[in-house]
Structure 1
Amino acid sequence: MKRTLLLFIILVFYTSSAFSSARCTSPDPQTKAGIVLIDGGESVGSGVVVAHNQILTAAHVIKGMDTIYVQVNGALVPAHVLSEDSTKDLALLRADTGETVPLVLSHDKLERNDDVWAMGYPFGESLVSASGRYRGTWDNAIYTSASVNFGQSGGGLISCERGKPVLAGMVRAFGAVKKNGKLVRRDDISVAVRIETIKQFLVTSRQVASVFK
């Protein structure tokens, strides 16, 4: 019997119910400190410090959370939503990020097979930096071979520019194929929001926030 494989995208929040990228061997400690855990009690996800006291995450991560806490440098601090765009699956939180250095946003376009790292907190546990390669951009989303899991949504997709780690996107989902009527996860496919989309969202969010100061 002929078997047809279809690619599906599985969102990966977790509920308890001139220089080449080769110059970056892995994200450095400063970059790792900028990837934070989002804790809503019944569900968890990941986030990225993009400015002082501002954290980017996925809109689906915070959906249904009555209270939001962010783990920064080992301490849980309260957070609230500054802006949210469910169509882009992006949200901007405000929380005390202390001395954490915000991640630098990428300026260069990713090239096929560039090294990338998908960073986040699978199942709300320890920070993971999963290495992979950039495969391409389709339907306004980045596809990579980095393996991700539940809880990593909202985390950072890191690439390398001029020998420095930069934020190239936001982890959103992993891929799956349909076999015999069932979805089967693909460890070699993950999906991220493009940095261009993130930049547009941040500009709009900060403009709106400034009006209501």
Structure 2
Amino acid sequence: MNQAARTFAFVARFVVLGLALAFVIGLLWPGSGALLRQRLAGHAESPAAAGASASEGPVSYADAVAKAAPSVVNIYANKLVTEQPRQLYSDPVLQRIFSVPTGPVRTRRQQNLGSGVIVSDDGYVLTNNHVIANADDIQLLLYDGRVASAKVVGSDDETDLAVLKVDAGNLPAIKMTDADTRPRVGDVVLAIGNPFGIGQTVTMGIVSAIGRQLNLSSLESLIQTDAAINFGNSGGALVNAHGELVGINTSLIGQAVGAEGIGFAIPVQSAKDVLEQIIKSGHVVRGWIGADYGPVPVAAESGLPSAARGVVVNDVSPGGPAALAGVEQRDVLLKIGNEDILDASDLRRHEASLKPGTAVTLSGLRNGQAFSLSIVPVQRPPTSPVQTQNP
């Protein structure tokens, strides 16, 4: 036998032995082959693939921050405050009786800190109304270090939103999420703003809840998050893990009441609606039907099945649209137009979206009997701003 034949026979014996050994191992440990392939695949993962997975979230959010941060601005809202020194007494009675001016009137500048988000490349900026309220001068510090003056286009007390306009070039507008990609509870979010005036800062958390209301009579439908929001973050951006705007940071429940990690943001869809109306007309128009309503108390008393939803009318404003249409106390309202009424908060949002002067159908039950009537909403009268703790 020559050398080539001996080498071939040697290799063949080891191949046959290896196959026999693999067959025995496969019989005794059926899952060993899949485990081996998985481990080999893990070792073969390329550095590029590892970097791609890291950029998606668990390891780093640097890509999302780099995408969103240039659109977030620091706001310095200045106003002149006039004060007159007065004699101070330790006794409160003496203070009321003998409190008299002790010197000339003095004027000082008061500065309010906040944040804003560039939402269009032609210079429109969204922020909170409480950041710029009564300001005489508004200065924006842009991400690239430029300082620019801004003017107020309009504001909305009910949502605590304001729209500013800045005349500057090369403005990076943030990408806003659409209605199909609304945040879900558990989504990672990043809050970007200017806390305490120290400069742009990013904090991370998750969406803790959606549809929150701090005042049951308001139109709020806030995003709750545990991302740290501090004084100066108001008006800043709440973005998702892809750097897209999901909300405008607006308020928090502070440590003064023992709370920690409870902050709130205005959903981007609500902010878009306010933005478009203010740009178009300088103010926000909302519908009003002139009735106060609340949850249906007990299904048996209302004549409704146990799973029914809707609202019960608690009061009707004299001379208002509801009164003129014939709505009465204790009526149960189930539909407005073609939309089912889920609860009082749902009806308030539907009501606010109505166009004043355009008739809409209200359907429900009165003393257990179905009814339907036509109502013509009017423009919602001014309401007092909701008092919250603002960062």
* 1:160-171 paired onto structure 2 within 5 Å: 160=241, 164-171=242-249
Give the match's secondary structure for 1:188.
Answer: coil
Give the corresponding residue for 1:127.
200
- Whether the 8 Å CA contact 1:174–1:187 is kept in 2: the answer is no
Is 1:39 the equivalent of 2:76? yes
Which structure ranks higher in relative contact order (CA pairs < 8 Å, sequence separation ≥ 6)?
1
Give the corresponding residue for 2:149.
78
Q: CA deviation at 1:149?
A: 0.6
Q: CA deviation at 1:74?
A: 1.1
Q: Which runs of 4+ in 1 moved over 6 A?
A: none
Is 1:56 the equivalent of 2:119? no
Quote the Cα distance in structure 1 between the aligned partners of 2:257 and 2:196: 19
Give the corresponding residue for 1:28.
65
Give the corresponding residue for 2:91.
none
CA-to-aligned-CA distance 1:58-87 (integer Å, 9 cap, x gap)? 000001211101111212111000111111
- Whether the 8 Å CA contact 2:154–2:278 is kept in 1: the answer is yes
Give the corresponding residue for 1:11.
none
Which of 51, 54, 65 is matched with 2:135 structurally?
65
CA-to-aligned-CA distance 1:5-51 (integer Å, 9 cap, x gap)? xxxxxxxxxxxxxxxxx824323324111100011231110000000
Shift in alpha-carbon separation, 1:117–1:206, aligned structure 2, 3 A: same
Give the match's secondary structure for 1:165.
Answer: coil
Quote the Cα distance in structure 2 between the aligned partners of 1:135 and 1:82: 33
Q: CA deviation at 1:206?
A: 2.1
Q: What is the letter of the counterpart of residue 155 of structure 1? A: G
Which of 110, 114, 126 is matched with 2:187 structurally?
114
Quote the Cα distance in structure 2 between the aligned partners of 1:200 and 1:97: 24
Quote the Cα distance in structure 2 between the aligned partners of 1:144 and 1:86: 22
Q: What is the letter of the counterpart of residue 43 of structure 1? A: N
* 1:87-166 paired onto structure 2 within 5 Å: 87-107=158-178, 108-137=181-210, 138-139=212-213, 140-160=221-241, 164-166=242-244
Q: Which runs of 5+ in 1 are unaligned?
A: 1-21, 178-182
- Whether the 8 Å CA contact 2:67–2:243 is kept in 1: the answer is no
**Larger % of strand: which?**
1
Quote the Cα distance in structure 1 between the aligned partners of 2:246 and 2:168: 21
Which of 253, 276, 281 is matched with 1:203 structurally?
276
Q: Name the TM-score, length of structure 2 as normaliser.
A: 0.44
Quote the Cα distance in structure 2 between the aligned partners of 1:186 and 1:158: 23
- Whether the 8 Å CA contact 1:54–1:97 is kept in 2: the answer is no
Q: Which has the larger radius of gyration?
A: 2
- Whether the 8 Å CA contact 1:69–1:79 is kept in 2: the answer is yes
Shift in alpha-carbon separation, 1:123–1:176, aligned structure 2, 3 A: closer
Shift in alpha-carbon separation, 1:80–1:171, aligned structure 2, 3 A: same
Q: What is the letter of the counterpart of residue 247 of structure 2? A: G
Give the corresponding residue for 2:259.
186
Give the match's secondary structure for 2:243.
Answer: strand
- Whether the 8 Å CA contact 1:158–1:165 is kept in 2: the answer is yes
Q: CA deviation at 1:205?
A: 1.6
- Whether the 8 Å CA contact 1:148–1:187 is kept in 2: the answer is no
Give the match's secondary structure for 1:200.
Answer: helix
Quote the Cα distance in structure 2 between the aligned partners of 1:147 and 1:185: 15
Q: CA deviation at 1:123?
A: 1.2
- Number of residue pairs matched by the alignment: 180
